[in-house]
């Protein structure tokens, strides 16, 4: 039992399902990029760290091209939990991405505002191609349409935590994805 189990109302995606989906996404990407000599994976901190770690290893195992791993941290100017679409870079890419095949590795697409900004940013840095793999998507929450080529799971617009997703910086280490009991965020 983890300390967090008592705070979870129900599990919506198990560890096994996360593993299987990650392998499936890695296989698709490996097949689509079979002819390139390298991929640059861009992880958007912090929520995507678990997925980045597992996805990049799967990609290697299923015969994908060699990957370089980059990390960015961004923060959206906005009130509370609502993204405004105006993004500030807290940690930029460490190296030049010009001419590289880039894949953005995201945990979740919610309103789409962060990703929409990020795609423009990466294109302005002259990436050769930019695609997105997102493990989760909340289809009902989308405010701006964003081209997400690879999507793991569509999830309900509820308070989900785990596998990188937090509530107030906690629950990221939960190995499954679950819905938080309302009393936790009503405390």
7 is catalytic: no
Buried/exposed 10-44: b ≥16 CB within 10 Å, e otherwise? eebbeeeebeebbbebbbebbeebeeeeebbbbbb
Tell the smallest beta-carbon distance from residue 8 to ligand PRP (Å): 18
Q: Looking at beta carbons only, is 61 or 140 nearer to ligand PRP?
A: 140
Distance CA 177, CA 162 (A): 5
Site string for ligand PRP, 20-59 (x = CB under 6 A): ------------------------xxxxx-----------
Distance CA 159, CA 150 (A): 23
Residue 119 interacting with ligand PRP (CB under 6 A) = no
Neighbours of 175 (CB within 10 A): 12
Q: Looking at beta carbons only, is 30 or 108 nearer to ligand PRP?
A: 108
How far is C-alpha 138 from the chain's CA centre? 12
Size of the site for ligand PRP (CB under 6 A): 17
Q: Which residues are catalytic?
A: 110
Interface ranges with ligand PRP (CB under 6 A):
44-48, 83, 106-115, 166
């Amino acid at each position: 039992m983890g300390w967090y189990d008592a705070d979870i109302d129900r599990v919506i995606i198990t560890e096994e399902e996360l593993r299987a989906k990650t392998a499936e996404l890695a296989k698709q990407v490996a097949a689509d990029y079979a002819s390139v000599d390298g991929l640059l994976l861009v992880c958007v901190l912090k929520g995507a760290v678990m997925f980045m770690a597992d996805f990049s290893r799967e990609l290697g195992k299923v015969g994908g091209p060699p990957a370089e791993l980059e990390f960015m941290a961004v923060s959206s100017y906005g009130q509370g939990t609502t993204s405004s679409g105006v993004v500030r870079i807290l940690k930029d890419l460490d190296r030049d991405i010009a001419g590289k095949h880039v894949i953005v590795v995201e945990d979740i697409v919610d309103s789409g505002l962060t990703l929409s900004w990020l795609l423009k940013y990466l294109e302005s840095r002259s990436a050769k191609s930019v695609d997105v793999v997102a493990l989760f998507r909340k289809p009902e929450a989308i405010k701006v349409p964003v081209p997400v080529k690879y999507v793991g799971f569509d999830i309900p617009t509820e308070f989900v935590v785990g596998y990188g997703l937090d509530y107030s910086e906690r629950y990221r280490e939960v190995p499954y994805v679950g819905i938080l009991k309302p009393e936790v965020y009503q405390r």
